[in-house]
Amino acid sequence: MRLELGKIFIKDVQFGEATKIENSILYINKEEMLNTIGGNEHVKSIDIELAHPGEEVRITPVKDVIEPRVKVEGPGGIFPGVLSKVDTVGTGRTYALKNMAVVTAGKIVGFQEGIIDMTGPGAEYTPFSQLHNVVIIAEPVDDIKQYDHEAAVRMIGLKAAQYLGEFAKNLEPDEIKYYETEPILESIKKYPDLPKVGYVYMLQTQGLLHDTYVYGVDAKKIVPTILYPTEVFDGAIISGNCVSACDKNPTYVHQNNSIIEDLYEKHGKEYNFVGVIITNENVYLADKERSSNWTAKLCKFLGLDAVIVSQEGFGNPDTDLIMNCKKIENEDIKTVIVTDEYAGRDGASQSLADADPKADAVITNGNANETIVLPPMKRIIGTTKYTDIIAGGFDGSLRPDGSIEVEIQAITGATNETGFVKLTSKAY
């Protein structure tokens, strides 16, 4: 598969009389956008606010972050199986609006949602502080069930990203990047002397608002399977989960998976990047055994020499991570795992809930239990009402002056396992 990804760099976002992109500025007709993305029976009101890098703005609680993209050439559309028909994506041409994102916020869905500070020390821990953010604040109807609330906010965010992305369709991109993965036999023939490397992409699927969707299907219903890496860039995987803010993969992170980006950079030079194996992180032991068995089997079937495994979440999924690692290693395939740590505020506790001697190549994205004081901000988008109960908060986190003391797990994207990190990763 070959995908051309056109990048349109946005230098500012403003409200205007018409939605358009002109001179690298995105103008949004607020009323038109609200009419386009609204109409959900589970939401009684929607508003849109803008947040820019360097502003004294705090966005919380954050549900999802999404990059607007549009399919220009090739089969399918953005977010296939959700907003577009079910068709295999990952080929042709897609345009992306860079330096900006859609952020969904408002009344809390689940307790594991996060904070984005656009300036100050908290901004250093989240990549989303560097973006021009179009924030959708959705107020649910009274007595709504959490699953209905999550689904409603998720769909509103995706519709907002689709709406904005469409205005890039007829533009000339500022930059085009090319990604190509050949079928396995052609790939081996093309690079006979290079080691074959794959990526095992673990998706959060524990239920209870911890879900990820692949072509519109809840990933806990799948068995491990193979994707072309370019399918990920075309929106085949989206977030539906409210797992701890620091290490969940918002949809933006799936769209811009930096492990895939890095693997492509050296593809055909230092190694042969064969493809992606997606697998899930279920709750029951039998499901974990099944998925890790299939994952190792697929790695062997592809003839891989080495594998990178990334995890989403922590605690229970640590078992899936270690199972995948040791079973792949048992197939004589070198494995590197990418994770964050929950080692206590002093860093002295066991950092993972599971371990094995075969997990001897580990990339850590930092200790999510470390604490930080976020100073007061002039403007709050959403509400800080729930700060004391979100993951990483505690009774008294929100101080009378508006400052917040929390563990960095409360910051969206702070120690994310696909590479969007503030901390310097290290191997041990």
3-16 residue pLDDT tens: 999 999 999 999 99
Q: How confident is the model at residue 139 (pLDDT cuts 50, 70, 90)?
A: very high
What single-letter amino acid sits at 230?
T
Q: Where in the sequence numbering do the catalytic residues fall?
A: 242
pLDDT recorded at residue 425? 34
Percent of the chain with pLDDT over 90: 82
Let me know: does 318 contact 352? Beta carbons within 8 Å. yes
DSSP code at position 236 = S
Question: Mean of the pLDDT values across residues 391-414?
Answer: 93
Strands 217-218 and 212-214 come out as antiparallel
pLDDT recorded at residue 417? 59
Question: Mean of the pLDDT values across residues 285-300?
Answer: 97
Q: How confident is the model at residue 418 (pLDDT cuts 50, 70, 90)?
A: low
Residue 372 has pLDDT above 90, yes or no: yes
In terms of Cα–Cα distance, which of 209, 220, 217 is closest to 238?
217
Number of Cβ within 10 Å of residue 16's Cβ equals 14
Question: What does each C-alpha distance from 427 to 110, 338, 340, 365 come to in angstroms?
Answer: 33, 9, 12, 10
- Contacts of 168 by beta carbon, 8 Å cutoff, 6+ apart: 8, 21, 68, 70, 95, 96, 97
Let me know: does 92 contact 390? Beta carbons within 8 Å. no
Q: Which of 102-116, 210-224, 386-400 is least confident?
A: 102-116
pLDDT in tens, 108-138: 787 678 999 999 999 999 999 999 999 999 9
In terms of Cα–Cα distance, which of 291, 205, 251 is closest to 62?
251
pLDDT recorded at residue 381? 97
Percent of the chain with pLDDT over 70: 97
Residue 423 has pLDDT above 70, yes or no: no
- Six-digit token string for 58: 């705090």
Q: Is the peptide bond before 53 cis (omega within 30 degrees of 0)?
A: no
pLDDT recorded at residue 413? 85
User: What 3-state class would DSSP assign to 29?
Assistant: coil
To which H or E segment does residue 253 belong?
helix 251-255
pLDDT in tens, 19-57: 999 999 999 999 999 999 998 899 999 999 999 999 999
Cα–Cα distance measured from residue 180 to residue 4, given in angstroms and rounded to the nearest whole number: 9
pLDDT recorded at residue 75? 95
What average pLDDT is seen over the chain? Answer: 93
pLDDT in tens, 293-331: 999 999 999 999 999 999 998 888 899 999 999 999 999
Residue 85 has pLDDT above 80, yes or no: yes
- Contacts of 227 by beta carbon, 8 Å cutoff, 6+ apart: 90, 201, 236, 275, 276, 277, 278
Q: How confident is the model at residue 424 (pLDDT cuts 50, 70, 90)?
A: very low
pLDDT recorded at residue 132? 98
- Contacts of 22 by beta carbon, 8 Å cutoff, 6+ apart: none
Cα–Cα distance measured from residue 105 to residue 115, given in angstroms and rounded to the nearest whole number: 10
Q: Phi, psi at residue 347, to the nearest 5°?
A: 75, 10
pLDDT in tens, 332-364: 999 999 988 888 888 888 888 888 999 999 998
User: Residue 47 — left, alpha, or beta (φ > 0 → left; ψ -120 to 50 → alpha)?
Assistant: beta
According to DSSP H, which parts of 45-183 are helical?
A: 146-165
pTM for the structure as a whole = 0.94
Question: Mean of the pLDDT values across residues 369-392?
Answer: 94
- Six-digit token string for 37: 């993305």
Residue 365 has pLDDT above 90, yes or no: no
